[in-house]
């Protein structure tokens, strides 16, 4: 018990490809892989969602004696299993049938209807994590994520104390961290990443008693926020460093317009040097147009630094993948009056207000005979799902919408086939979909915010040297129509400009290398 090991533990509610509801899953799947490759000992802790995680994606190697925690007066037992994900990432699975044997991660409709007991479910994740540390050894640092990982810092502190484990002067990160301080009553350093500030896990203060947390955390220096229990706030207050997932978003959330009531806290963290923006990356091996097994046609270009002469092959790629997609979704390929098929607009998104998809649908509904075809895959709010279905109904030969579903294979086909990818978010912490879409040669129409601002190079407003799309300042139907119209004119007009946009997009590789290094330095900084 209480032996320190030289690991960094990730804790979160999702981990792609085992279980994913959104971008958090992608990050929990890809960042640990890159860090592991860089020689850092990583373990990932997730709930054991037996109904969701495919059996062939994990191997279980250890089962440990059950732990228990009291939520109010009611004791709950839970199990700990260790094993590996298919790509070799060491796992700790917190097993608790009542809380985790569900059909969804957060609740139906991509979490739009959250399970009533989510507070307890993710309190269980935190208690399971601390218990696993007592069994397996306390890591040097724990990196926990989002409101669902927000109880981890408190449970760690109440289990191991407030003093950090630390390393001696010669210790450096990675496989070489061996000279750890071996003493009792020390905790790992804690990093906390906000992937989306909108979701804060807010409950009534009455619920605090049921979380199994020490009563001292029921205060404004931890989870109490203007009379409510705010899981995200406590998580960030009790961590050694808070990060968010793009530089622009880290500035935005410290302002009233984007702070969702926590801007004061975030501003103060920023002033103390305890809030950073580190851009997410995508797994460039998984999202690879040359090797992707889920699409109909793989790109046949050797180098990754694409030249204008490669555009012909990109055209092949788009056309063939459009044929595959359209035969699957029973949409005819419609020709434009300039001899090529109409541009295909792709959407792969949660259908929540902030994504601006409702405004995009309004733009198309207001447009009599729009010169596009559209493929929408998304899940979320009923009204937006219904609006997408309605648009598909009135434009049967132009629009396809699959709503209320998460479909990984179809998402790949849409990225591969689309000419334009639309993501008019009103705020976007980082956004991975636009990075994936650029990797697959889509030109982007996006909101000028957060990670979209940091990754899409705008061709309007004076323009960037290597534009990859259009960034819209005001998200409404008018603004989106304007952007689509601009892109259509380029697509249908003098082809040289479109060709450049596609090649620029495809050349923007948002991998993890720089960001993984930034996290590595950050761990070192907080462990010291």
Say whether residue 455 binds ligand ADP (CB under 6 A): no
Stretch that binds ligand ADP, among 270-278, 402-410, 493-501, 506-514 (CB under 6 A): 402-410
The dihedrals phi and psi of 471, each to the nearest 5 degrees, come to: -105, 130
Residue 94: CB atoms within 10 A of its CB come to 24
Q: Which two tokens stand for residue 521?
A: 């330095």
Q: Which two tokens stand for residue 317?
A: 């790629």
- Are β-strands 202-204 and 228-230 bridged in parallel, bridged antiparallel, or unpaired? antiparallel
Say whether residue 414 binds ligand ADP (CB under 6 A): no
Q: Which of 14, 26, 210, 310 binds ligand ADP (CB under 6 A)?
A: 26
Strand (E) or helix (H) holding 143? strand 141-145
Indicate the residue among 232 and 377 with the shorter CB distance to ligand ADP. 377
What count of Cα atoms within 13 Å lies in the side-chain half-sphere of residue 294?
15
Q: What x/- string results for residues 186 through 215 when contact with ligand ADP is judged by CB under 6 A? A: ----------x-------------------
Say whether residue 23 binds ligand ADP (CB under 6 A): yes
Interactions with ligand ADP, residue window 124-163 (CB under 6 A): none
- What is the torsion angle, in degrees rounded to the nearest 10, for the CA atoms of residue 168, residue 169, residue 171 and residue 173? 110
Indicate the residue among 180 and 350 with the shorter CB distance to ligand ADP. 350
Indicate the residue among 157 and 195 with the shorter CB distance to ligand ADP. 195
| Spatial contact of 492 and 336, defined as CB atoms under 8 Å apart | yes
Say whether residue 408 binds ligand ADP (CB under 6 A): yes
Sheet containing 7-11: order of strands: 58-71, 74-85, 90-95, 41-47, 7-11, 141-145, 189-194, 241-244, 275-277
Say whether residue 349 binds ligand ADP (CB under 6 A): yes
Stretch that binds ligand ADP, among 51-59, 367-375, 401-409, 495-503 (CB under 6 A): 401-409
Indicate the residue among 388 and 527 with the shorter CB distance to ligand ADP. 388
Q: Which two tokens stand for residue 437?
A: 């879409």
Q: Which of 22, 47, 90, 234 binds ligand ADP (CB under 6 A)?
A: 22
Quote the CA–CA distance of 289 and 294 in Å, as a whole number: 10
Q: Which of 406, 464, 466, 486 binds ligand ADP (CB under 6 A)?
A: 406
Min dist. Cβ of residue 92 to ligand ADP (A): 23
Stretch that binds ligand ADP, among 168-176, 219-227, 320-328, 400-408 (CB under 6 A): 400-408
Residues 6+ apart with CB under 8 A from 394: none
Stretch that binds ligand ADP, among 257-265, 327-335, 386-394, 404-412 (CB under 6 A): 404-412
Indicate the residue among 43 and 145 with the shorter CB distance to ligand ADP. 145
Count of chain residues binding ligand ADP (CB under 6 A):
19
Name the CA radius of gyration of the chain, rounded.
Answer: 23
Indicate the residue among 9 and 421 with the shorter CB distance to ligand ADP. 421
Stretch that binds ligand ADP, among 208-216, 235-243, 432-440, 478-486 (CB under 6 A): 432-440
Quote the CA–CA distance of 175 and 38 in Å, as a whole number: 9
Min dist. Cβ of residue 51 to ligand ADP (A): 18
Indicate the residue among 403 and 504 with the shorter CB distance to ligand ADP. 403
| Spatial contact of 451 and 427, defined as CB atoms under 8 Å apart | no
Closest CA to 419 of 398, 447, 438: 438
Min dist. Cβ of residue 10 to ligand ADP (A): 17
Say whether residue 350 binds ligand ADP (CB under 6 A): yes
| Alpha carbon distances (Å) from 288 to 113, 431, 439 | 33, 18, 7
Min dist. Cβ of residue 303 to ligand ADP (A): 26
- Are β-strands 224-225 and 228-230 bridged in parallel, bridged antiparallel, or unpaired? antiparallel
Q: Which of 31, 58, 94, 432 binds ligand ADP (CB under 6 A)?
A: 432
Indicate the residue among 23 and 467 with the shorter CB distance to ligand ADP. 23
| Spatial contact of 180 and 206, defined as CB atoms under 8 Å apart | no
Say whether residue 407 binds ligand ADP (CB under 6 A): yes
The dihedrals phi and psi of 221, each to the nearest 5 degrees, come to: -85, 5
Indicate the residue among 26 and 292 with the shorter CB distance to ligand ADP. 26
Compute the residue count for the chain.
Answer: 528
Residues 6+ apart with CB under 8 A from 424: 355, 356, 357, 359, 360, 445, 446, 447, 472, 475, 479, 480
Indicate the residue among 407 and 514 with the shorter CB distance to ligand ADP. 407
Quote the CA–CA distance of 383 and 516 in Å, as a whole number: 39
Quote the CA–CA distance of 284 and 297 in Å, as a whole number: 18
Min dist. Cβ of residue 505 to ligand ADP (A): 16
Say whether residue 411 binds ligand ADP (CB under 6 A): yes
Quote the CA–CA distance of 114 and 488 in Å, as a whole number: 39
Stretch that binds ligand ADP, among 62-70, 313-321, 431-439, 457-465 (CB under 6 A): 431-439
Q: Which two tokens stand for residue 150?
A: 């927000």
Indicate the residue among 177 and 376 with the shorter CB distance to ligand ADP. 376
Min dist. Cβ of residue 378 to ligand ADP (A): 5
Min dist. Cβ of residue 391 to ligand ADP (A): 17
Interactions with ligand ADP, residue window 360-389 (CB under 6 A): 377-379
Stretch that binds ligand ADP, among 100-108, 359-367, 405-413, 497-505 (CB under 6 A): 405-413
Residues 6+ apart with CB under 8 A from 274: 240, 241, 242
Indicate the residue among 173 and 506 with the shorter CB distance to ligand ADP. 506
Q: Point out which residues bind ligand ADP (CB under 6 A).
A: 22-23, 26, 196, 348-350, 377-379, 406-408, 411, 430-433, 436
């Amino acid at each position: 018990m209480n032996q320190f090991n030289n690991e960094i533990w990730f804790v979160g509610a999702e981990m792609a490809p085992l279980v994913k509801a959104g971008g958090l899953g992608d990050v929990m799947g890809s960042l640990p892989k890159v860090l592991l490759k860089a020689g850092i000992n990583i373990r990932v802790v997730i709930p054991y969602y037996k109904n969701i995680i495919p059996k062939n994606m994990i191997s279980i190697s250890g089962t440990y004696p059950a732990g228990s925690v009291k939520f109010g007066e009611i004791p709950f037992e839970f199990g700990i299993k260790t094993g590996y994900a298919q790509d070799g990432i060491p796992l700790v699975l917190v097993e608790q049938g009542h809380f985790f044997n569900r059909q969804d991660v957060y609740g139906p409709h991509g979490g739009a209807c959250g399970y009533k007991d989510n507070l307890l479910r993710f309190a269980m994740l935190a208690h399971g994590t601390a218990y696993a540390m007592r069994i397996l050894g306390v890591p040097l640092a724990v990196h926990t994520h989002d409101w669902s990982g927000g109880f981890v810092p408190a449970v760690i502190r109440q289990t191991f104390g407030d003093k950090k484990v630390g390393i001696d002067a010669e210790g450096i990160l990675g496989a070489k961290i061996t000279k750890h301080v071996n003493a009792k009553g020390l905790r790992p350093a804690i990093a906390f990443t906000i992937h989306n500030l909108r979701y804060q896990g807010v409950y009534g203060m009455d619920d605090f008693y049921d979380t199994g947390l020490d009563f001292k955390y029921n205060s404004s220096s931890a989870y109490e926020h203007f009379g409510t229990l705010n899981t995200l706030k406590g998580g960030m207050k009790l961590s050694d460093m808070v990060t968010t997932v793009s530089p622009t978003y880290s500035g935005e959330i410290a302002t009233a317009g984007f702070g969702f009531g926590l801007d004061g806290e975030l501003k103060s963290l920023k002033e103390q040097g305890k809030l950073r923006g580190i851009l997410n990356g995508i797994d460039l091996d998984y999202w690879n147009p040359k090797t992707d097994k889920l699409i109909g046609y793989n790109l046949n270009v050797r180098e990754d630094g694409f030249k204008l002469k490669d555009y012909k092959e990109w055209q092949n790629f788009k056309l063939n993948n459009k044929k595959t997609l359209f035969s699957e979704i029973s949409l005819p390929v419609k020709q434009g009056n300039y001899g090529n098929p109409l541009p295909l607009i792709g959407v792969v998104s949660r259908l929540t207000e902030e994504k601006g998809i409702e405004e995009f649908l309004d733009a198309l509904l207001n447009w009599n005979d729009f010169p596009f075809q559209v493929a929408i895959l998304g899940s979320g709010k009923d009204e937006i799902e219904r609006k997408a279905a309605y648009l598909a109904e009135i434009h049967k030969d132009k629009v396809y919408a699959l709503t209320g579903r998460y479909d990984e294979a179809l998402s790949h086909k849409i990225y591969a086939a689309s000419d334009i990818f639309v993501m008019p978010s009103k705020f976007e912490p980082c956004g991975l979909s636009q990075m994936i879409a650029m990797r697959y040669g889509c030109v982007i129409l996006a909101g000028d915010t957060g990670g979209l601002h940091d990754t899409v190079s705008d061709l309007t407003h004076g323009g960037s040297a290597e534009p990859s799309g259009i960034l819209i300042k005001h998200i409404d139907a008018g603004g989106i129509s304007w952007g689509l119209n601009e892109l259509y004119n380029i697509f249908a007009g003098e082809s040289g400009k479109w060709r450049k946009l596609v090649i620029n997009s495809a050349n923007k590789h948002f991998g993890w290398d720089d960001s993984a290094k930034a996290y590595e330095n950050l761990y070192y900084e907080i462990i010291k």
